[in-house]
Chains A and B, each alone.
Chain A
Amino acid sequence: MTLTTLEGVKVLDFGHYFAGPYASRLLADLGADVIKLEPLEGDLLRPTVKPFNGAQRGKRSIAADLKHPRGQEIGHRIAAWADVASHNLRPGVAERLTMDYESLRAINPQIIYAYAPGWGSTGPDAGLPGFAPLFSGYVGLHHEAAGSANVPVAPVGNEDNGNGLLGATAILMALYHRKRTGEGQYLEHPQLNATLLMAMHLMRRADGSVAGSVGLDHDRRGGDPLDRLYRTADGWICLSARTDDEFARLAGMAGLECLASDTRFADAATRAEHRSALGDVIAQVVGTATTGVWADAFEAAGVAAEVPTGVEGPRRFFDDPEHRRDGRVEEYEHPRWGRTRDVAVMVRLSDAKSRPGRPAPEIGQHTREILGEFGYSADEITDLYDSGIVR
């Protein structure tokens, strides 16, 4: 499913991999017309099927050689049409391809040019390569995800997604700015900045200490005994009871009355002081019964808890008719992958209509159609194919 909110918004994306393209995919979800301009050999992420599809659904693809002047002319014609041009090529590459901001602004003075470099377009590290999930490690999130005294590890949740999300917010802010002032602009959402945004909850006090850490324990079951995973007799359960009211309900449950009578757990301050003891007490009790028993008991007591899903998580999600109805899941026939179900619209707007979405395009799937739209005659199109300029 695609919404019609941004119908009429035109986007040219000549980026690759995930982070940059995910921004324009999010705009396509809301109805923007997104043209993916990729090299003749295709986006380098294509062999990695699921991430590629996640970053490219809803777009049309034209494959053209931007190293050739005739390929560049195609790029320029699309840029003249576009409200937004976006990419995440390494600094200097767009200049060589004559697809940099100055070149495109000369063609289209109101264009919004969104650039997602790794480190920044300028600065001491601008020329360095940068791949996910290494930026997460750079901003401290591998230590955050590791658990106390463990080897740092990448968290679930990739900064590529974070940067696509950030890019979409920035592009929409620029569109709003242009609606109000008539002015286009150049904007940047470096991967470094996006990853820092994902670590925004981590701050540094004047004494150098870090505030806001999740503080995961060694076993990575959580940091707060009142918001963590507990092992049951046959599996796991996650409970959350951080407020006074929630704690009172937890301490009112059969088997957990000891929490109510223990002065160490009398209020939030003493519970924080004795957090490790509190976790031990709960763990001991929860370990005596099965996940099913606890899930029912917590529900009956009004204590918020969930049974963690493993590999069945995605299956349950895709099978749920509710998710089809609200457009989170879309199903279609893909020429190569057959019956495909993927994650579609994740934010809904009430005035929008919905229409079927498009699967991620094959290399150059829409080349002929797009060239036609941009004024190339049938003969010219044939010649572009024959000359190896397009695919």
Chain B
Amino acid sequence: MGANVNQGSLDGVTVVDLSWGRAGPMATGLLADHGATVVRVEPPGGDPYRAMVSRAAYDRGKQSLILDLHTEAGRDALHHLLAGADVLVESWQPGVAEDLGFGYDALHERHPRLVYCSISAYGQDGPDRDRAGYESLVAARTGVMAVGGPGTAQDVGSAGSGPDPVYPGVPIAGIGTALLAVIGIMAALVVREDTGTGQRVDTSMLDGALSFLNMFWEQLENLPDEAYRPRSPTRRFMMASMRCGDGEYLGIHTGANGSYGRMIEALGLSDRISPAPGNREKTVPLTDEDVEIVTTEVPRLFASRPRAYWLEQLRAHDVCAIPVLRPCEVFDQPQAQHNGIVVSVDDPEMGPLEQVGVAARMGAAPGAIRGPAPTPGQHSDEVLRGLGCDDEAAAR
């Protein structure tokens, strides 16, 4: 009770981030957005994956400290830092932290309040523990590259429903892992308020992939086959991207009750498609003649007018229609701006960058973007002096 919390939910919480890549830095970046002080500890020369430009978003608002953990002075400085820290995040291969003297057991004894989060490729033990945990490789091994086979997702129209594997267009394993790590860290911090002690949080890139795949991954002995057969063409349902007259695409989803009929009306085809009561339209199949019209004339109609026209028509009929925009075009959309989620950050290396801001809108303590991603070692002097360490020796 009584903590001084007015900026973000994590005001006063210090996070030491020893991770690299996507998952760890994205996780600690979310904690920073919500008020945590995050110190990224990088090896001499900086994070080996600094070339990853998304770092400009994930590392914003953090401090960077260069420490050589292969020297005693470096390890000593890290211990000083951990003495005042609440959370540690690491993504070394299993066993590396122990070899450096920063394994969970050793740190828990020395810093019992510390919440220790480990992010691995496939878990801390098990036969795959030493395999590399890059996004692409985890995607290949777990099935993200080919989710569309029979009996799995059949996520109509999604990438991966063809015969060949496809590289993931969205790094879901890394994103899922980041969010799972935050969930685990926050749960441990909540528990610590009662127990006074920290604990180990353990997640992996495999878990991150699962956090998305579990929408479809389940084995049910009695699930009828038809539950996952491709959608019947006679069903009054459309989920598609339609090419419009100006070459732009419009996403359409008629999942809501009655919305298929309303779409037919918006397209001016009501008198040519057999009628069905709005609230039960999905139980009344289309006739062969209807299917013929839907498969030939509907695409032609969309192609006859620009996207803005169809967007207006469909929305006037309360049909879910959303433009398929190119990356970052959404930043200019009024609702995104209204939600306050588009921010501009002046990155020291890349210049001014518009990026996605604080995603969760917390009523009590909203959080904020507190600055750009640091250059490697930008805060070394400041942080080490604060700890009373010899900065030259620590970073060497």
State the A residues within 8 Å of B (CB).
5-6, 18, 26, 30, 49-51, 53-55, 119-120, 122-126, 128-131, 133-147, 151-158, 160-162, 165-170, 172-177, 179-190, 192-194, 196-206, 210-214, 216, 219-223, 227-229, 236, 238, 240, 243, 268, 304-315, 317-318, 322, 326, 328, 334, 336-343, 346-352
Contact = CB atoms under 8 A, between A and B. Distances in A.
Nearest to A326: B123
B363 A187 contact: yes
Given A153-B157, A304-B137, A350-B200, A140 B57 contact: no
18 contacts: A133-B251, A146-B169, A151-B249, A152-B249, A172-B183, A173-B362, A187-B361, A187-B363, A197-B359, A203-B353, A204-B354, A206-B352, A212-B57, A216-B169, A238-B136, A313-B146, A338-B220, A340-B221
A240 B207 contact: no
A238 B137 contact: yes
Contact of A174 (B167, B334, B364): B364
A15 to B, nearest CB: 15
B299 to A, nearest CB: 12
Contacts of A317: 142-143, 217
A176 B189 contact: yes
B147 A156 contact: yes
B145 to A, nearest CB: 4
B96 to A, nearest CB: 16
B330 A156 contact: no
B353 A211 contact: yes
Contacts of A181: 1-3, 5, 364
Contact of A120 (B54, B210, B220, B338): B338
Contacts of B324: 137-138, 142-143, 152
A135 B322 contact: yes
A167 to B, nearest CB: 8
Contacts of A200: 26, 54, 57-58, 355-356
A322 B137 contact: no
A119 B165 CA distance: 33
Contacts of A211: 53, 56, 350, 353
A223 B30 CA distance: 27
Interface string B181-208: 1111011111101110101111100111
Contacts of A142: 241, 249, 251, 324
Nearest to B367: A173
Contact of B34 (A173, A185, A228): A173
A243 B46 CA distance: 13
B82 interface: no
> Considering the complex of A and B, which 7 residue pairs feature the smallest CB-CB distances, nearest first?
A313-B143, A145-B169, A311-B149, A140-B327, A157-B172, A338-B221, A172-B186
B216 interface: yes
Given A203-B57, A216-B167, A304-B132, A138 B364 contact: no
B323 A220 contact: no
Contacts of B378: none
Nearest to A345: B207
B159 A146 contact: yes
Contact of A313 (B5, B34, B152): B152
B5 to A, nearest CB: 5
A143 B142 contact: no
B193 A176 contact: yes
Which of B1, B150, B165, B350 gathers the greatest number of chain A CB atoms within 10 Å?
Answer: B165
